[in-house]
């Protein structure tokens, strides 16, 4: 049985651009996955301000209009979606725009996928060409239509195997398509993905009473190489530095290892976790 405890409001604020708060005081995951809603075992987790993540995945019979995965990855579609997202940046550096749009995508995709693997031992079918994306009027993905329901994960002590459906079936083609469409470096997008992955792990860590369940997610980010010897693009996306505050007390500063390059957009400042900053920006 997995139990998640309520986190304090201060801990829910992250550089995700959203507050991830209000987990239930206790969480007992279901042992099976029903077709409707998908990932029903996570329902007790996705309540309150987390309720927006409850129905991120739907089946293909959902009546809402959607963009087929292969069409979604086309340069034309990606460009159109980003213009809808921030029309004021249509003529700006598309690398910066692609980065902040991708952040919204990761923030929508990751919570249920990561939680399903670590808390339920469940795999969401994420092969992108077999999915469809339901997009809202702001050019952001609202929900993902799946070709089938979720499945049990095959037993493995290899975190790369447990998350292969996310890394290989989904992130790899998504990041490559966005790179080709906009010129944004793939390493920036992988760093963005790692940042969101680590941030969601942090939210789960603050709530769980069985921290060992999160170990595969932590190992995924702490291994510099994949099992085949290739570089792990999600490796160490953030670091925690001790900095002194004005009152002389030290606190931890969560700093990204790589800049998200959003500063390339006009009048957009560095994020509070940017490695280009020499010290944290004091909140007002």
Q: Is the pLDDT of residue 86 over 50?
A: yes
- Rounded to an integer, the average pLDDT of 256-266 is 97
Residues 178, 181: Cα–Cα separation, whole Å:
5
- Rounded to an integer, the average pLDDT of 207-223 is 92
Fold of 9-237: Transferase(Phosphotransferase); domain 1 (1.10.510)
49: helix, strand or coil: helix
Q: What percent of the chain has pLDDT over 90?
A: 73
Residues 143, 41: Cα–Cα separation, whole Å:
18
Are 232 and 225 a contacting pair, CB within 8 Å? yes
Residues 264, 123: Cα–Cα separation, whole Å:
37
- Rounded to an integer, the average pLDDT of 256-279 is 95
Give first-to-last CA distance, the chain, whole Å. Answer: 41
Residues 108, 141: Cα–Cα separation, whole Å:
7
Residue at token pair 């789960």: 204
Angle at 38 between CA 11 and CA 131, to 5 degrees: 100
Residues 75, 89: Cα–Cα separation, whole Å:
17
Estimate to the nearest angstrom the gap between the alpha carbon of 195 and the chain centroid. 8
pLDDT of 283: 53
Q: Where are the domains of the chain?
A: 9-237
């Amino acid at each position: 049985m997995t139990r998640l405890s309520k986190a304090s409001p201060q801990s829910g604020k992250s550089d995700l651009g959203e507050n991830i708060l209000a987990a239930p005081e206790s969480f007992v995951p279901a042992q099976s996955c029903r077709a409707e809603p998908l990932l029903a075992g996570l329902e007790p987790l996705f309540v309150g301000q987390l309720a927006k993540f409850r129905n991120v995945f739907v089946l293909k019979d959902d009546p809402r209009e959607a963009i087929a995965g292969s069409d979604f990855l086309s340069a034309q579609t990606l460009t159109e979606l980003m213009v809808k997202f921030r029309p004021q940046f249509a003529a700006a550096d598309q690398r910066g725009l692609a980065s902040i749009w991708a952040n919204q995508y990761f923030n929508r995709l990751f919570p249920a996928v990561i939680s399903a693997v670590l808390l339920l031992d469940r795999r969401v079918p994420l092969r992108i060409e077999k999915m469809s994306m339901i997009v809202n009027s702001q050019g952001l993905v609202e929900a993902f239509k799946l070709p089938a329901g979720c499945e049990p994960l095959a037993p493995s002590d290899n975190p790369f195997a447990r998350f292969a459906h996310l890394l290989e079936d989904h992130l790899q083609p998504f990041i490559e398509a966005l790179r080709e469409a906009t010129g944004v470096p793939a390493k920036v997008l992988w760093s963005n993905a790692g940042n969101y992955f680590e941030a969601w792990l942090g939210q789960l860590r603050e709530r769980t009473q069985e921290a060992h369940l999160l170990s595969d997610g932590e190992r995924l980010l702490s291994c510099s190489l994949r099992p085949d010897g290739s570089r792990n693009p999600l490796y160490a996306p953030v670091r925690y530095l001790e900095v002194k505050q004005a009152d002389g007390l030290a606190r931890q500063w969560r700093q990204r290892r790589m800049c998200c390059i959003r500063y390339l957009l006009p009048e957009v400042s560095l994020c509070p976790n940017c490695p280009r900053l020499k010290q944290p920006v004091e909140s007002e």
